[in-house]
Amino acid sequence: MSPPGRIVIYGAGNIGLYLGGRLLEHTPVRFVGRPATANALTENGLHLSDWHGWKRHLRMDQLDFHTSPEAAADADLVLVCVKSSATATVAHELSRVLAAHSIVVNFQNGLENANRLREALPQHTVLAGMVPFNVLQHSPGVLHQGSGGELMAAGHPALHAYLPLFAQAGLPLRLRSDMDAVLRAKLLFNLNNAINALSDLPLKQELSMRDWRRCLAIVQREALDAFQAAAMPVARLTPLPAAWLPRALELPDALFLKLAPRMLAIDPQARSSTWEDLRAGRATEVDALHGAVVRLAALHGLRADANACLQELIRDAENKRTPWTAQALLARLRSARRHAT
């Protein structure tokens, strides 16, 4: 397959390296990342795997890896895969170097990042995207996809030429006309990131336990209330409508497994990105996730105190990690909700 254009992965973290590594089997890909990542890849190479048994190893000399923003200057398609805390920096860097024809797809968590990129890149086409699956770094350069789902991005004619390439790489890309609603639906699931980090359990084990799911149901309800007050629709990404998710999460374990098996279709080793950030001593995305709910609720005269509570607990955990029990966290979140009413 002849490449439809140069692809640049901007942000060589877990998601960026994984997407780029898979695409690299079928087309040239350029990576822009940090010097520390370059050093780790030089030492260890890039080891990729997924929960279906696919594996690939790439040496550093097989990767077109750069640490300077100028490496994106001739990009036709830029996939932004940095953490939310780096959005402002990346927006400024790209505004200095991108060619006028470059298309940018924002594969970040949260609701606000694509708009921040658009503000910095008013002459460019910036499209919201969504990565549904989990990628865990077991050790430097060793990445494992632990859950499934299709990539999604806002529909645009310029992306049509890339669809066969993504499909061939095992990364089917679905174009949507309702990406804002898709991002809201993804946020509902990302609200578990902090809970998983505080549990210090693998995702599948945590979500198999009713009291942990009850914690998630509380913060999801706050988010759904804020979306409703703002008249913001939420896409349906599961067999259950988004509004039914909190009720389903609260079901007894046996019934939950019977009615929502896809939510537990996760590699037993998978953990949330927030858990990994805390382990690595990095800043988390809690302000882009729970903070987004708190901000939206406040704009419409509501309170999202359980989400604010998780923000505070994760900030505390950034300084000192102390695993919680499900019962203790559930009591804390319920208390935050009671004090708000």
* Tokens found for residue 105: 């797809």
Query: Which residue blocks in the chain are alpha helix, DSSP H?
Result: 14-23, 35-44, 87-97, 113-120, 163-168, 179-190, 192-199, 203-207, 210-229, 245-249, 253-259, 273-280, 286-299, 305-319, 326-340
In the chain, where are the structural domains located? 7-177, 182-340
Nearest Cα to 143, choosing from 41, 26, 7?
A: 41
Q: Please give the full DSSP string across 69-105, using - where no structure is assigned.
A: GGGGTT-SEEEE---GGGHHHHHHHHHHH--TT-EEE
CATH superfamily of 7-177: NAD(P)-binding Rossmann-like Domain (3.40.50.720)
pLDDT single digits (tens) 44-91: 999 999 988 999 999 999 999 999 999 999 999 999 999 999 999 999
- Write down the pLDDT at residue 269: 87
What are the distances in angstroms from CA 310 to CA 284, 290, 306? 12, 7, 6
d(CA 140, CA 41): 7
Taking alpha carbons only, the member of 2, 130, 141 closest to residue 60 is 141
**Given this model, what pLDDT does residue 4 score?**
83
| Tens-place pLDDT, residues 135-153 | 999 889 999 999 999 999 9
Entry pTM: 0.93
Residue with the two structure tokens 């203790």: 328
**Low-confidence spans in the chain with pLDDT less than 70:** 1-3, 339-341
Classify domain 182-340 by CATH architecture. Orthogonal Bundle (1.10)
Count of alpha carbons within 13 Å of 7, Cβ hemisphere only?
A: 28
